[in-house]
């Protein structure tokens, strides 16, 4: 069944992102060719259970009929229309529908094509907002260690993953970082950890160093995903909000992973009961069918631009594909699918079972920590002596051979199944991982 493999020549043309290209192209092939519901099919015809929603993004599972039909119909009706100075109805209909599930007063939405663009857009809006209101000295951006905000220059500057930053020059100036929230005393915590709310107080020290009059925004992932699932300590995000209010600093939540039901609520902001001023989205926004990202901003921010701008264009920013008709059609059908099937509530209902299942791996070989919230989990492995990440990559390969797609980041297994996952499928994920750990040195 290897007939669906690209030719050896073709295999050389694609420079794969975040992938060891040399190893991938010379090694055993791992290619996916079909997807439906909870499953992929590999090029050699095997069923692969999806424990990662693709890449944290196919929240409603794969090949959902309503979404597929909406994209097909839109492609045949109007393939593209610009949104600079002219527009099409779907962009308004989609953002209106999306604003209906956004919390607090986050009701104005700027459309992008990816999470990276959403993060950079949010940072730019924060800077322009302060300037617009006569606070042009507020230019510093505060990120966090171990954060992932995509791969644009803004995102890697406020991000905190060294390998994503170290090769790319001096990055943005005027950036500082909060400490990450991974504390040894919290290992094997189920849900939100008890210790570490005071880590938010590091913002006070940053303010003391630079003065609040120079700081524009703090950006955090409510749950840090790509670094290996770090759950915020109880009270941490509330504390950050209080400090941002105290110092007139905007708070940006990057919800590219935590959005669209991942935690059992529409957004992390809902789950934690904390109001950001800007909220980044992508991935689940179209169930990953057509690339799209977005930034929701508070009415206050939007109104400031509308009232204070002294140029006809209020924000000199945008993308050719901001509000692409196919993405908007997919987005509307995706929101309807989430709603029709009650998928956010379903994720909340399934979360206790998920928690017990993943923590049952506590005694599995190599496991040194397990973290979870909603339908997300991180299983941290003891790195192999002198060969960091090798063990996790072997576990990844073994799971794939046994029909399970997981994600590994460093020596951490990260899981985020589609919100349609059934209990027997969760059991199968856990058994497959337990076996893979047992037979991996
Ligand atoms: C929190 C967060 N922000 C931004 C991004 C970047 O999104 P994209 O890969 O769509 O650019 C990701 C991707 O995983 C993410 O997890």
50, containing H or E segment: strand 47-50
pTM here is: 0.98
86 burial via Cβ count (<10 Å: 0-12, 13-18, 19+): exposed
Q: Rounded CA gap, 134 and 332, in Å?
A: 37
User: Residues with beta carbon inside 6 Å of ligand 1?
Assistant: 114-116, 119, 148-150, 221, 225-226, 254, 256-257, 282
Torsions phi, psi for 48 (to 5 deg): -120, 115
Q: Name the residue among 274, 260, 233 with its Cα closest to residue 416.
A: 260
For atom 3 of ligand 1, which residue has the closest CA? 149
How far, CA to CA in Å, does 6 sit from each of 41, 43, 427? 16, 10, 34
Instruction: For residue 387, list its beta bridge partners.
Output: 384
Single out the residue of 415, 421, 424 nearest to residue 373, CA to CA.
415
- Name the residue of 56, 58, 122, 148 whose CB sits within 8 Å of the most ligand 1 atoms, as the mutation to test its pocket: 148
Q: Tell me which residue has tokens 């989205």.
A: 281
Residue ID of nearest Cα to ligand 1 atom 7: 115
Look at the block and give the residue holding tokens 């991996």.
Answer: 440
Q: What is the pLDDT along the chain (441 residues), one digit of tens a residue?
A: 556 788 888 889 999 999 999 999 987 789 999 999 999 999 999 999 999 999 999 999 999 999 999 999 999 999 999 999 999 999 999 999 999 999 999 999 999 999 999 999 999 999 999 999 999 999 999 999 999 999 999 999 999 999 999 999 999 999 999 999 999 999 999 999 999 999 999 999 999 999 999 999 999 999 999 999 999 999 999 999 999 999 999 999 999 999 999 999 999 999 999 999 999 999 999 999 999 999 999 999 999 999 999 999 999 999 999 999 999 999 999 999 999 999 999 999 999 999 999 999 999 999 999 999 999 999 999 999 999 999 999 999 999 999 999 999 999 999 999 999 999 999 999 999 999 999 999
**Number of residues that make up the chain:** 441
Q: What residues contact 408, with CB distance under 8 A and at least 6 apart?
A: 389, 392, 393, 395, 396, 414
What domains are defined for the chain?
Answer: 2-60+342-438 (3.90.1150.10), 68-340 (3.40.640.10)
Q: Please give the distance, rounded to the nearest whole angstrom, from the Cα atom of residue 250 to the centre of ligand 1.
A: 20
Sign of torsion over alpha carbons 182, 184, 187, 192: negative
The minimum-distance atom of ligand 1 relative to the CA of 254 is: 1
């Amino acid at each position: 069944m290897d007939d669906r493999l690209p030719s050896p020549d073709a295999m050389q043309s694609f420079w794969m992102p975040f992938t060891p290209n040399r190893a991938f192209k010379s090694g055993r092939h791992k290619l996916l060719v079909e997807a439906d519901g909870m499953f992929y099919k590999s090029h050699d015809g095997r069923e692969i259970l999806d424990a990662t929603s693709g890449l944290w993004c196919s929240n409603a599972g794969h090949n959902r009929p309503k979404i597929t039909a909406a994209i097909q119909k839109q492609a045949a009706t109007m393939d593209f229309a610009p949104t600079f100075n002219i527009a099409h109805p779907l962009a308004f209909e989609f953002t209106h529908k999306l604003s209906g599930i956004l919390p607090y007063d986050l009701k104005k939405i700027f459309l992008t094509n990816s999470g990276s663009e959403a993060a950079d857009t949010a940072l730019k809006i924060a800077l322009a907002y302060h300037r617009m209101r006569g606070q042009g000295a507020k230019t510093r951006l505060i990120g966090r260690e171990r954060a992932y905000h995509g791969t644009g220059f803004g995102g890697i500057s406020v991000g905190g993953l060294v390998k994503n930053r170290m090769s790319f020059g001096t990055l943005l100036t005027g950036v500082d970082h909060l400490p990450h929230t991974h504390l040894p005393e919290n290992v094997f915590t189920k849900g939100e950890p008890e210790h570490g709310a005071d880590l938010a107080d590091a913002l006070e020290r940053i303010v003391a160093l630079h003065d609040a009059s120079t700081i524009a925004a703090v950006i955090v992932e409510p749950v840090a995903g790509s670094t290996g699932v770090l759950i915020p300590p109880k009270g941490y995000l509330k504390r950050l909000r209080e400090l941002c209010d105290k110092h007139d600093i905007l708070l940006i939540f990057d919800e590219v992973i935590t959005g669209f039901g991942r935690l059992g609520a529409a957004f992390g902001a809902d789950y934690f009961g904390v109001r950001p001023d800007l909220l980044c989205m992508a991935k689940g926004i179209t169930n990953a069918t057509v690339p799209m990202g977005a930034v929701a901003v508070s009415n206050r921010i939007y109104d400031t631009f509308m009232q204070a701008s002294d140029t006809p264009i209020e924000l000199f920013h945008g993308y050719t594909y901001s509000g692409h008709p196919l993405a908007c059609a997919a987005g509307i059908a995706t929101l309807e699918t989430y709603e029709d099937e009650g998928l956010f509530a379903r994720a909340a209902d399934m979360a206790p079972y998920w928690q017990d299942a993943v923590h049952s791996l506590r005694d599995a070989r190599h496991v040194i920590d397990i973290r979870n919230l909603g339908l997300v989990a991180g299983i941290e492995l003891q790195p192999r002596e002198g060969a960091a990440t090798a063990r996790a990559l072997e576990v990844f390969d073994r799971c794939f051979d046994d029909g399970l797609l997981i994600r590994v980041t460093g020596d951490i297994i990260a899981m985020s199944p589609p919100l349609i996952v059934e209990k027997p499928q969760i059991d199968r994920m856990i058994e497959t991982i337990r076996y893979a750990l047992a037979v991996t040195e």
